Amino acid sequence: AQKVTQAQTEISVVEKEDVTLDCVYETRDTTYYLFWYKQPPSGELVFLIRRNSFDEQNEISGRYSWNFQKSTSSFNFTITASQVVDSAVYFCAQLYTGGFKTIFGAGTRLFVKA
Amino acid sequence: NAGVMQNPRHLVRRRGQEARLRCSPMKGHSHVYWYRQLPEEGLKFMVYLQKENIIDESGMPKERFSAEFPKEGPSILRIQQVVRGDSAAYFCASSPIRSGTLGANVLTFGAGSRLTVL
């Protein structure tokens, strides 16, 4: 069965600090996708990244970076030099090929204080 | 190029009334998913539909909830005889192809419909 665990319920940092959001997934499938979504206070869900299980290369996009490690079933998300606008709930999610449901973790609420 | 459109954005109902939530997928998308987000919780899958077909409704409560995606018009999530526990944000997402397909695109979410049951 699929499961996505985001152990950090809330994180509070001061602006310009780096912060890492943890995501651990469980699956028996060899082919699957992992995602991160952002939900700002306005409530919509914003797609950030998709990773497939065959691609373990880390990715960097501006201040965002993602570390995918199959050996530990983790797909962690780091924000470098955080800004107040990064304050949001961040969801990690998983989809296996052949399935219909994207399974979401419970989310991590990030507070970035000025 | 409008994204996924959901309406109403906010809906207030009294216990026992019916709630109808609408979702128009992105242009060219024929696959619709409904998710529910209870306060302070993550998103829970409810149902996956293609035009005129329910593909997977394993996340739908057995009673009072139904969904459809007709050939013409938006997808509708219908909740009959609402109770306070139905208060939540209901998100619709769409994709152009079945999301489990290799190389599938990402789900595009609407802004959500927030249901409050008094």
Q: Which residues of A touch B114 (CB under 8 A)?
A: 43
Structure confidence at residue A63 (pLDDT): 94
Nearest partner of A27 among A98, A107, A109, A108, judged by Cα: A98
- Residue B86 sits at φ, ψ, to 5 deg, of -80, -10
> Given an 8 Å threshold on Cβ–Cβ distance, is B102 in contact with A31?
yes
Question: In angstroms, rounded to a whole number, what is the distance separating the alpha carbons of residues A84 and B86?
Answer: 32
Nearest partner of A107 among A31, A50, A45, judged by Cα: A45
Q: What is the mean pLDDT of residues B16-20?
A: 98
**Dihedral sign computed on CA atoms, order B31, A40, B44, B15:** negative
pLDDT in tens, B38-88: 887 889 999 999 988 999 999 999 999 999 999 999 999 999 999 999 999
A84-87 long-range Cβ contacts below 8 angstroms, 24+ apart: A84/A15, A84/A112, A84/A113, A84/A114, A85/A112, A86/A110, A86/A112, A87/A40, A87/A41, A87/A111, A87/A112
Residues of chain A where predicted confidence (pLDDT) is lower than 50: none
Contact B9, B116 (CB under 8 A): no
Question: In angstroms, rounded to a whole number, what is the distance separating the alpha carbons of residues B44 and A74?
Answer: 21
Peptide bond into B96 cis (omega under 30): no
What stretches of B8-112 adopt beta strand conformation (E)?
A: 10-13, 19-24, 31-37, 43-50, 53-56, 65-68, 75-79, 88-95, 108-109
pLDDT in tens, B27-38: 888 889 999 998
Q: Which residues of A touch B107 (CB under 8 A)?
A: 47, 102
How would residue B114 be classed by pLDDT, with cut points 50, 70 and 90? Answer: very high
Nearest partner of B31 among B62, B55, B6, B57, judged by Cα: B55
Q: Which residues of A touch B33 (CB under 8 A)?
A: 100, 102
Find the closest chain A residue to B50 by CA distance: A100
What stretches of A53-87 adopt beta strand conformation (E)?
A: 59-61, 64-69, 74-79
Compare CB distances from B42 to A98, A101, A106 and report the shortest one's residue: A106
The alpha-helical segments, DSSP class H, found in A1-114 are none
pLDDT at B21 over 90: yes
How would residue B1 be classed by pLDDT, with cut points 50, 70 and 90? Answer: low
